[in-house]
Amino acid sequence: MLAKRIIPCLDVKDGRVVKGVNFVNLRDAGDPVELAALYDREGADEIVFLDISASNEGRATMIEVVRQTAGEIAIPFTVGGGISQVEDMKRILRAGADKIGINTAAVLNPELISDGARRFGSQCIVVAVDAKFNPAWGEWEVYTHGGRKATGIKALEWIKEAEARGAGEILLTSMDADGTKDGFDLPLTKAVSAAAGIPVIASGGAGKPDDFYEVFTKGAADAALAATIFHYKEIAVPDLKRDLRARGVEVR
């Protein structure tokens, strides 16, 4: 059986980690390479870098971050943010990333999923979906542009299309749960896990170890992603894994 994965996410802008990171034992807490290496040592199963650079220079810096990270860590890592062309994917994968996350660009141009999967293999293509409950529909709607723009697309339908086009994984962020620390969005995660034949990474809302237990058991997620609670040491990866293991969840 596959182990459930714990994935810290680092927001990186112009080569530096943003969202205040609070590690005392790091030489440079703003260095994404050093932080990724620390999470690797702590037993994180994967790392996600979200590049929020707005400039071309910032994106170019990210390539260097990827190259250095690939030399420093011994776990897979994903890079997302602002990737809209197969050539972007190629550059990042060649620099040593294992997977590419695509979000808005995939909604605007679903061919990007098919092209990327054909060229690099499905295992490289992670489709990130920001979803919010639409009461009028009684189900979830896809948002793009960092959650600012409603698309009118039903999340479950979009996820099925992404899979059919060759996505290897779904990184599912609940906009309703994100930032609340009240736990992952279990109904959304469960619905997506049931609809998808590919692994689902749940994101948004993690506040305590029990939230991870719930999303793996009730939400049927394959992996869970969080940012601030790890960065601020509210939850340490080794403690979280010990807790999950004690409760019968298979973790590494």
Partner 1 sequence: MAIAIVDYGMGNLHSVSKAVERLGYEAIVTGDAETILSSDGVLLPGVGAFGDAMSHLRETKLDAVVTQAAGKGLPLLGICLGMQLLFDSSEEHGRHEGLGLLPGRVERFAGDSGLKVPHMGWNRLEFLQQNHPILKGLTEGHVYFVHSYHVLTGRPGDLLAVTDYGHPVTAIVGHNNVYGMQFHPEKSGELGMALLRNFLELAVRG
Active-site residue list: 11, 130
Q: Put residue 19 in one of left, alpha, beta given phi > 0 → left and psi -120 to 50 → alpha.
A: left
DSSP letter assigned to residue 125? E
Interior angle at CA 168, CA 163 and CA 171, nearest 5: 85
State which residue, 141 or 169, has the beta carbon closest to partner 1: 169
33 or 107: CB nearest partner 1: 33
Q: Which residue has the tokens 């009118």?
A: 152
| Smallest separation, CB 136 to partner 1 (Å) | 33
Q: How far is the CB of 96 from partner 1 (least distance, A)?
A: 4
CB nearer partner 1, residue 7 or residue 177: 7
Residue type for 19, please? K
The torsion of the CA quartet 54, 57, 62, 65, rounded to 10 degrees, works out to -140
Instruction: Output 20 or 121, the one with its CB closest to partner 1.
Output: 121
**For the chain, first and last CA: distance in Å?**
11
Give whichever of 11 and 40 is closer to partner 1, judged by the CB atom: 40
Shortest CB 97 distance to partner 1, Å: 9
Minimal distance in Å, beta carbon 98 to partner 1? 7
| Greatest pairwise CA separation for the chain in angstroms | 50
- The residues, any chain, with a CB within 8 Å of residue 240's CB and separated by 6 or more, are 6, 209, 212
**What one-character DSSP code corresponds to residue 124?**
G
Closest among 144, 126, 117, 153 to 222, alpha carbons compared: 126
Sorted by sequence, the CB contacts under 8 Å of residue 243 that are 6+ apart come out as 209, 213
Contacting residues toward partner 1, per CB under 8 A:
1-3, 5, 40, 43, 45, 67, 70-72, 74-76, 93-96, 98, 121-123, 168-169, 197-199, 222-223, 250, 252
Which CA distances in Å does 87 have to 68, 91, 93? Answer: 20, 6, 10
